[in-house]
Structures are given as structure tokens and as C-alpha cells.
Structure 1
Amino acid sequence: MSTGTTPGLDDGAVTAWMESLDIGVSGPLTFERIGNGQSNLTFAVTDAADGRWVLRRPPLGTLLASAHDVAREYRILSALQDTAVPVPTTIALTDDPAVTDAPLVLMSHVDGLVVDSPAVAGTLSEERRRAIGEAMPATLGKIHAVDLESTGLVDLASHKPYAARQLKRWSAQWEQSKTREVPDIERLATALAASAPEQTEVSLVHGDFHLSNIITSGAGEGNVDDAIVAVVDWELCTLGDPLADVGALLAYWSEADDDNVGMFMSSTLPGFPKRNELVDLYAAATGRDVSAVGYWHALALWKLSVIAEGVMRRAIDDERNRARDGSPTTDLVDGIIGRAVATAEEAGIL
């Protein structure tokens, strides 16, 4: 049994649970929180024989209803095991109160590099940055090509118009987690609701696809084919319009000359493609009409501002939820809202 207690885990109980799974665990185990995720908590687990696994659990403290559902995330990852989408191998899920106070997901550790900071991105050559950037639209295409029937994900979420569902859900989240009044949030929501494009297809949507949520092989130079070895953090995955994922990628993809780069600075380094190139690559990989991408970019920025406000609120309520590089600030959230307004104006929504 391991000793000590990791915030969010009962080290001894989790060790006993993992030993009971017959996966070759050789105790004692060490647990280390990893990544710069601002939502569900992720831990690297290492045993005495240098075996490695990954654990996920919801944030600490009081949570909003339906948020941070790691059991649902486990279902999605399990359904994707035999598809073209690169994901970690799922191992086990438990909500046994003798083990954990919240659902706990165990999955394989994927060797590779997470480009979750400019410092990490700076270790890569410009050719490698380019390859990673070019692989992202192609990987989105793989996600959007998943057969919902054969994977059993056809009932994962509603098939009703995705934009309306998103606006309803995240407006409610804003009301429950906001720390102040921000008139532009409601103004944007009203305009986005009035301008929503017609939904013509329903696909799997990752919901949070950006550089920090992929694992790259970390090897090679300009080889796009091996650039992404796993897509992680499927907490916001749902069914909806595939262009929503493209819009989200753009929302997180800062460029060096942006007025407000915020926390997403890695893509500003030389070598990474520009946002318009990502859109063109996605269109080429999937054959989809991307003319409405400006709408989805604005919606994604609006949603991102709501998420950032919620993360800030959770960190205020419980310091243990604060990520490695800190949590969003009011200035950061206001900057994202400003980008959402500017993008909406450019798209003719406001």
C-alpha cells in the first residue's frame, strides 16, 4: 500500500483497487497531478517496476449538475478503442466509496509529449510544430467520421440543433458560476441564437480540441502521420455539428499579432499554421463546406469565456482546483469575451 494522501485521492485505497485489477501493479505507487487542465483532475501513476498509468477524477468541491462526468468520458473512450481515432486504452472505472469519493477512471499511459506551454513548444523545431498543426484538422476529420451506430454512441446526446443546445447549456452554466455581471455574454448569446446556421449533419464532436488535449509522439521532424498519438480530455464530447470543433480549435489557436493572446500562446511560435490554414486543411481532409466557420469560431469563444469564468470560480471556492500554471483571471476572461465580440462582428453576427 502506498503512504501519504494526494489531494483528490486516497492513495492506499486506490493502490489496493489497482492491485485488484490484475494489471501487473507492483506497489508502492506514486501519484502526481499532471497537465495544465483546469477541469477534471489528471494524475500520473507510477509503480515500483516503473509501470505507468493515468487516473482521472472530477474537480474537488461543489460541482454543477452534469459537469465533469468522468464515467461518461470513460464510455466514450471505450467506444473509440477500435476506431481510427487515437485514444488511450481504457482499463477500469470505479465509484466504490471504499476507494474514492467521486468516480475514478484508470487508463493507459501514452508515451509522448503534450504541448501545453510555450516552453514545451519551444523545444520543437519549426518543422515539427508545422507537422503537429497540420495533423490537427486531419485528426478532427477522423473524430467526425466515427460511425455512431457501430460504436454505440448514437444515443450519447441529443440530435437536436447543436448551437441552440450549446447556448442553452452554457448560458445556464454562466448564471450558476459567474463572479460578476458581464452584459456582452447575454448580448452575444442572443445574437448567436438568432444567427445559427442550419444543421445538416450530426457527428461526434470532441468539444475541447486544442494543443493541450493531444499527445504528440515528440519524435521526428515534419512527419504529419505520426504527429498525434492520442486525443485526450473527452469531458465535453457530444453529438452535433462537426464545424463546432473547428471553431473551438480556432478559439484556442492564438496568433502572434492577436490583440489578446491569453493563456494559449504556444501556437504563436513560428512554424505553427495560421487559423485560416487550419480551416483549409480541414476542408481538404473532409470535403465539408466550411463557409459557416466564423459563426462557430464566435460561439466557441463565447463558450470558452463561460468555461474560464467557471474555472476561476472553482479556484476561488477551492484552491486545490488551481492548475499548475494558475487559473484564469477577470482580465483574461474579459479578453476572451472581447475576442468573441470582435469575431462575431467580423462574421456579421453582431
Structure 2
Amino acid sequence: MSSLIDTETIGGWVAGLDIGARAPITFTRVGAGQSNLTFLVEDADGRRWVLRRPPLGSLLASAHDVAREHRIMAALVGTGVPIPLPHALCTDPTITDAPIMLMEHVAGVVVDSMTSVEAIDPQRRSAIGHSLARTLGAVHAVDLDATGLSDLASRRPYAERQLRRWHRQWEDSRTRDLPLVDDLATRLSARIPEQVDVTLVHGDFHLMNVITSIGDGAVRAVLDWELSTLGDPLADLGGLLAYWPQADDSVVPGFAGPTLPGFPSRDDLVQVYADSSGRDVDGVDFWHVLGLWKIAIIAEGVLRRSLDEPRNTATTGRVDAAVVDGLLRRADEEARAGGW
């Protein structure tokens, strides 16, 4: 047994599935993701799959729900939203201590490091950004009734739900006092826009959570559906902007990939999304600020889990507290630029 996964027992489960896997099965931790743990699964013939499981240790309520993530991905098969095909979910306590999901391995490029960005020419960077925005429109076009996802979550106003949820998560996971979290929550609460539509919302849609084509840069698969819910589609667009720094930003916390030449500006992403989806994008500035605030809280939670259980730390290392601080400063800057 490795420190993260019982390779013998779970390897036997994989080999017993009707997917042609042949023992011995190996598991290798992959990805820069800091939430659910992701493993590359390989069999004796070199065939590949991907396995997901929750982090180790004590988890916040409703977080890291792999079974829910499996439900959503299974529902999206055949909708036109590019996803890895989910093969199986296991919740048997004799096999695994937490739900695990096995899915298709999709060949392509995950742009999650400066090394991977630098290997992409400016033309393909532009194509990746535009494909991201169009793919997000496809997510929001999913027919909730046809996919059986109409009861996935509450349809109550999404902004209020997000503010309550993430402020509670902050209180449950913070490692220090940061008054700007409460200050931004108050200012956001005072500017909540009217919700006019309810769609599937990915909840964590950004460059590092997709697999792109080596050839033309098109999005081949959208990953990490664990935060998906029903809500305002502009929340996803604002979240994408929050993860999309520009070279002229005064603070660039976290992954700086989109600051390199060739990637579209945030305004370009908004325009491509509006053109491809046909949606009104008025009010996206609110969701941009909320996205930065929310990502800061997520990062703080990742830091907390890493401190509590070092084996949860991603292969890229522990989240730096300075990243959380930088995201909050960016949120404050965007809010002040909007006059609030």
C-alpha cells in the first residue's frame, strides 16, 4: 500500500472492471490540482486511465464529493460538452476508504505550468483562450431536464448562496485573520445582481482544468466537476476572468500563464463568450470580484489541508499564503475600479 492509495486492492478493482485492464496496475499522482487527488492509472499493457479520490484527513462538509462529480460527468455524456468518459464509481468500504472514480484518459496538453505555456506558440495560445470561452458557453447550454440534472442543487439566487457558502468555508478553514475577506463579503452583498437565468455551473472553470489539443488548441476535455451546481452562468465567466491574469495587472497571484503573449485579454474572453453563447454579459464585473474572493478562500482551504495532512500537498508544492493575499488584493482593486 502506498501512502495515498491501496494499490493492491484498488488495482484489483480496476482489473475487475469490463475495460480490458490487465494486472499489475500502477498509480502515479499527477496534476497541479490541490483538491480531489488525481492519479494516472496504467496496466501491464501500457493502457491508461485516470482515478480521482477525495483528499486525506478531515474534510469540510459538502466538499470533495467524488460521487456527485461522477453523477454530473455521467449525465454530460453525449451533450456536446467535452469530458473524459467516466467508467466506474466505487464506494465499497472493503475496497476504498472514500469514493473513487475511474475515467477515460484523454490525450492532450494540460496547461498548468509555465513550462507547458512556454512550449505553446502564441497562435495556439490564442486558440486555447477562445476555445475556453466557447466551451463555457456549451456548459451553460446543457439541457438540465434532459440530462437529469434539474435537481442537482437549489435554484435559489446563486450569488447569495455563494457568499454564504464560501464565507462559512473561510471561517472553517482559515489559518489566520484577514479582515479583507469580511470587507469584500460586505461589499459584494450590497451589489448582488438580479438573477435572470439558471444553468449548469461548472464552479471551477479555468485554463488548468481543461485538456487541450496538441494540434489546434481546442478544449478536448473539461475536468474537475466537483464544485458544479445550478446557478447564474455569469458566475463561471467571472471565475474564468479571476483565474486569467494580464501582464498589466498590478498583482499577479498564482499561475501567471495567461500573461504571456498570444493569450486573449479578459475583455476578449468576455466578447467570445457573449458571441458564442448569445448571453447578456452585463454584470460580469460583480462575478469577477466574487471569483477572486472565492478563489482566495479555496486557496486558503488548500493551505489548511496541506498543513493538517502533508500528503495532500500537490506535486507542485504547497500553496503560499502570499497567493491568498494577492488574490484578495486583486479583488479589492477590481471592486474599487468599479466604484465600490
Q: Is the TM-score greater than 0.5?
A: yes
Equivalent position of 2:233 in the other structure: 242
CA distance in 1, matches of 2:254, 2:185: 23
Q: Does 1:177 align with 2:173?
A: yes
Pick which of 304-313 and 5-14 moved more. 5-14
List per-residue Cα deviations over 1:217-261 (Å, max 9, x = no partner): 1114xxxxx611100000111110000000000000011122221
Q: Within 5 A, what are the aligned runs for 1:285-324?
A: 285-324=276-315
* One of 182, 206, 213 as aligned partner of 2:202: 206
Q: What secondary structure sits across from 2:127 in the alignment?
A: helix
8 A Cα contact 2:11 2:26, kept in partner: no
Matched, 1:47 2:43: yes
SS at 2:19's partner residue?
coil
Shift in Å, 1:6: 3.0
Work out the CA distance in 1 between the residues paired with 2:56 and 2:170. 19
What's 2:17 paired with?
Answer: 21
Q: Which runs of structure 2 are paired with 1:1-350 in the superposition (5 Å)?
A: 5-220=1-216, 227-348=218-339, 350=340
Letter in 1 for 2:247: A
Secondary structure (helix, strand or coil) at the match of 1:159 reads coil
| Cα-Cα RMSD | 0.9
1:223 paired residue number: none
Relative to the length of structure 2, the TM-score reads 0.98
Q: Could you list the per-position Cα deviations for residues 87-121 of structure 1 after superposition, in whole angstroms to 9, with x for gaps in the alignment?
A: 01011101111111110001111111100111101
2-structure distance, mates of 1:97, 1:144: 35
User: 2: CA distance between counterparts of 1:172 and 1:51?
Assistant: 42
Percent identity, please.
Answer: 56
TM-aligned CA deviation for residue 315 of structure 1: 0.6
The question of whether the paired residues in 2 share the 8 Å contact of 1:43 and 1:56 is answered with: yes
SS of residue matched to 2:190: helix
Deviation at 1:327, TM superposition (A): 2.2
Letter in structure 2 aligned against 1:289:
D
Tell me, in whole angstroms, the C-alpha distance in 2 between the residues paired with 1:174 and 1:105. 28
* Counterpart Cα distance in 2 of 1:74 and 1:287: 29
TM-superposed CA distance for 1:343, in Å, is 0.9
TM-score, normalization by structure 1 = 0.95
SS state at 2:89 partner: strand
Give the drift of 1:27. 1.0
Number of corresponding residues: 340
Contact 1:70/1:104 (CA < 8 Å) preserved in 2?
A: yes
Where does structure 1 lack aligned partners over 5 or more consecutive residues?
221-225
1:28·1:47 contact (CA, 8 Å) conserved in 2?
yes
What CA distance in whole angstroms lies between the structure 1 residues aligned with 2:70 and 2:297? 25
User: How far does residue 20 in structure 1 lie from its aligned partner after superposition?
Assistant: 1.5
Q: Is the 8 A contact 2:15 2:25 kept in 1?
A: no
